[in-house]
Amino acid sequence: MEAQATTTPTFELKDIISHAKEYGFVFPSSELYDGLQAVYDYGQNGVQLKNNLKQLWWKAMTQAQQSIVGIDASIFMHPLTWKASGHVDAFNDPMIDNKDSKKRYRADQLLETKAEAYAEAGTPEKGTALLHEMARLLDANDLAGVRDLILAEDIRCPISGTKNWTDVRQFNLMFSTQVGSVAEDADVIYLRPETAQGIFVNYLNVQKTGRMKIPFGIAQIGKAFRNEIVARQFTFRMREFEQMEMQFFVRPGTEGEWYDHWKEQRMRFHQAIGIAPGHLRYHDHEKLAHYAKAAVDVEYKFPFGFKEIEGIHSRTDFDLKSHQELSGKKIQYFDNELNQNYIPYVIETSVGADRLFLATFCEALKTVVTGEGEQARERTILDLHPALAPVKAAILPLTKKDGLPEKGEAIYKALRTEFECYFEEKDSIGKRYTRQDLIGTPFCIAVDHQSLEDDTVTVRHRNSGQQERLPIAALADTIGKQVSLTSILRNL
Ligand code: ATP
């Protein structure tokens, strides 16, 4: 049914942002007061799409896995957690200001953009050499060297066009606040910059109470906060966002094969939700984080270029070992088969719910041409997988009289306990179809006079615009199968 449509790409980021706002997906935070930079709210349709993505991830990473369980840790954690994890000392971005435009930039991003320019100009080897040099300087914390490199590469402020740069400074991305009622007694604590540490500090609790045997994993979805220096590109880089992370604990020496396993699994996930394989790619890290042995990003082709949506990291025993050292509590696993104690190694998969949302949304918004010759018509649709769509079926009586609304409402009441439905009787049927296309509703159910006679309805398919006649009694089952998350999980 869905095949006849041809697609013409593509939308720019500004089109994505305005569509997301106009159709109730994403609003700027506290917009009444002109918004708050890099913070966004999800609207009535956005929250459904985001929840569906989170639920799918949760099911794929826990229910569908033999040896992964989930937890829900707090945002506030003991401050020593962040000392052990390295975030207090090393969770910095190098920033630089242009004195003429007063604009602030991430020094590493200026150099990365230059490297991309080399690649586009047909001299990728120059870009690679530049990235190597940047990694070397950052590793050595040689910030003056980073500034010299920016000058040597003739990098100018895109706004002022000058090279009037300040020194490069390190900026810690963690937000802090206080716990305690009296200011003098209050302890500084941080809003977690990642969910992973909530998993590490609960490793022993879960392993013991769940009688978990290595290899096993712990998954979590939750908010994280980063005081990003440059916040732009909509929900791609926010100061408050959600992460979906899984730490997989393995026997030391087996981390290579598990790294490959999760690298492949996570790519399958992104393809299964409907992202075209050509819009996804791996990107191996040049500069490894302080904890990592190997790291790869899964990147999506956003309207502003290929950018990270998920990271897969081989973290060794870095985190558990530091927590053991700083807490003074033994964090070890006794491996029956080896008759040996060790600190497990960790493979992490870490995807941002908001970036996944944005990728899914960018991928889905398209113009399709249906019909041929004089019948050909261009329509904009949100081509979401039916299981991810905010509304699964819209029930639309053809007219507002002759008992059609009552018939439609009865169908709506019966179906809405099965999946998310919408009922509307206002406006022409064409206008109502269009509105549903724009929010991604896969099925529109039109109730007409024939429905009163033989209890059948017309089901219109979003992508092809084609219609079929179905008995009302078959709707719950026929549509239900196609809009269930299980239909995606089976393909993983
Ligand atoms: P970037 O290099 O883009 O800053 P990162 O490498 O710091 O990202 P990780 O620390 O690996 O990101 O975090 C894992 C995932 O969390 C990222 O792949 C991304 O999807 C999400 N994420 C990280 N920072 C943000 C942010 N500021 N806004 C939205 N999502 C984010």
Ligand 1: centre distance to CA 234 (Å): 13
Atom 1 in ligand 1: which residue has the minimum CA distance?
308
Instruction: Give residue-wise pLDDT tens across range 170-215.
Output: 999 999 998 876 666 668 899 999 999 999 999 999 999 999 999 9
Say if CB 130 and CB 124 are below 8 A apart.
no
pLDDT value at residue 186: 62
Ligand 1: centre distance to CA 484 (Å): 29
* Mutation test residue for ligand 1: of 192, 287, 298, 350, the one with most atoms within 8 Å of CB: 350
Ligand 1: centre distance to CA 379 (Å): 34
Residues of the chain scoring pLDDT < 50: 1-4
Residues with CB under 6 A from ligand 1: 194, 226, 228, 237-238, 241, 243, 308-311, 350-352, 354-355
Say if CB 331 and CB 343 are below 8 A apart.
yes
Atom 23 in ligand 1: which residue has the minimum CA distance?
352
* Six token digits for residue 228: 């990003």
Ligand 1: centre distance to CA 287 (Å): 15
Instruction: Give residue-wise pLDDT tens across range 147-158.
Output: 999 999 999 999
DSSP reduced 3-state for 419: coil
Atom 14 in ligand 1: which residue has the minimum CA distance?
350
Say if CB 446 and CB 462 are below 8 A apart.
no
SS3 sequence of 349-412: EEEEHHHHHHHHHHHHEEEEEECCHHHCEEEEEECCCCCCCCCCEEEEECCCCCCHHHHHHHHH
Atom 11 in ligand 1: which residue has the minimum CA distance?
311
Q: For residue 290, what are the contacts with CB-CB under 8 A and spacing of at least 6?
A: 86, 90, 318
**Would strands 216-225 and 240-250 be described as parallel, antiparallel, or unpaired?**
antiparallel
DSSP reduced 3-state for 2: coil
Q: What is d(CA 48, CA 28) in angstroms, rounded to the nearest whole number?
A: 17
109 burial class (0-12, 13-18, 19+ CB within 10 angstroms)?
Answer: middle
Ligand 1, atom nearest to 307 Cα: 3
Ligand 1, atom nearest to 313 Cα: 11
pTM for this prediction: 0.92
Ligand 1: centre distance to CA 228 (Å): 10
Ligand 1, atom nearest to 310 Cα: 18
Ligand 1: centre distance to CA 313 (Å): 13
Ligand 1: centre distance to CA 311 (Å): 8
pLDDT value at residue 455: 97
Q: How far is CA 341 from the centre of its chain?
A: 37
pLDDT value at residue 287: 65
pLDDT value at residue 226: 96
pLDDT value at residue 2: 45
Question: 88-102 in b/e burial notation, b at 16+ Cβ within 10 A?
Answer: eeebbbbbbbbeeee
Helices 143-152 and 107-120: crossing angle in degrees, nearest 10, is 30
Ligand 1: centre distance to CA 352 (Å): 6
Under DSSP, the state recorded for 75 is S
Q: What is d(CA 446, CA 438) in angstroms, rounded to the nearest whole number?
A: 17
pLDDT value at residue 491: 87
Q: For residue 389, what are the contacts with CB-CB under 8 A and spacing of at least 6?
A: 48, 49, 52, 382, 439, 440, 441, 442, 483
Ligand 1: centre distance to CA 354 (Å): 10
* Mutation test residue for ligand 1: of 355, 360, 361, the one with most atoms within 8 Å of CB: 355
What one-character-per-residue DSSP string does 231-294 give?
--TGGGS-SEEEEEEEEEEE-TT-HHHHHHHHHHHHHHHHHHTT--GGGEEEEE-SS--TT-SE
